[in-house]
Amino acid sequence: MKTRAFGTTGIEVSEIGLGSWQLGRSAQWPDGPHEDDAVRLVHAALDAGVTFIDTAPGYAEGRSELNIGAAIRGGRRDHVVICTKFGHRPDGGSDWEPASIERSILRSAERMGTDHLDIVVLHSPPPEVLDGTRSEHYEVLERLKLKGLIRAYGASVDWGADVDTVLRTSTSQALEVRMSALFQETWPSLERARDQGVGTIIKVPLESGWLSGRYTADTTFAGVRARWSRDDIALRAGLVDEFRSLLPTGVSVPHGALRFLLAHNGVSTVIPGARTVDLLRDSIAAAAEPLPAATVESIRDFYARRLAGSPLDW
């Protein structure tokens, strides 16, 4: 597994990280892994060279952080960079009060059995929190960084304008950004983040499973994915077919999707989620080879033609 610099923070991260929204059985993920399976999954990631794990207090109702903690006990903490978030609680509620930041971070650290967290980001915050000229949140995070409780901080966002707000109004060193082959709206903003020395984490890289290659126009969905109408499903299935046609022979849809993101030199790490070791290993294998530059350009052109004027909703 290759690593990349996380901006100018001095932190190194694996090109493929582990997204952990699904890392626990809960109402969110009724078919999520129990603790033993979750621990095995994290151990398999670490054994394969993954050094970056992304989580949050609200993921799997707090079980994601607890399962990560169980997995990194016994000397494995020093081999992983952990990113967690502030804003959404394990009970499903939200708390954006600046005075709550340190308490939330300490609780996350306790759940994971560590005395510090590497990266903390504001978790898709409202505009008045995201904008550092209107909130105290980044000042609090900077104090916690100076205190040694965290190493870097920033925000998790979905749009290029939000990236620019963070870059313009804060001293953030970290951004978690939605981007995929089917959602490239944030692509140019990642170049600006790179130029400012900000490390970037790419979330939803397989477009909520559509770029996993498992879904078709006939797939039915439950849970959070039931949000898509039949028209949405037909549109996304057709876009995946178009994307598949752009890939070199022998390159699968998920490998092509992850390699496309890694082709951006402003990307530090990409965090596909995985509920099984086999899916994890397949994501890791995507980083073994780059995507040809001509293919990257054709995917950029595809997005400009088909989606730039009407980006997909999450």
pLDDT digits (tens, 9 = 90+) for 228-267: 999 999 999 999 999 999 999 999 999 999 999 999 999 9
Burial class (CB in 10 A: 0-12, 13-18, 19+), 202: buried
Q: Which residues pair with 203 in a beta bridge?
A: 178
Q: Count, in order, helices (H) and strands (E) of the chain.
A: 11, 10
Q: What is the pTM of this model?
A: 0.96
- The token pair at 145 is 């960084």
Structural domains in the chain?
A: 3-209+261-289 (3.20.20.100)
pLDDT digits (tens, 9 = 90+) for 14-31: 999 999 998 988 887 788
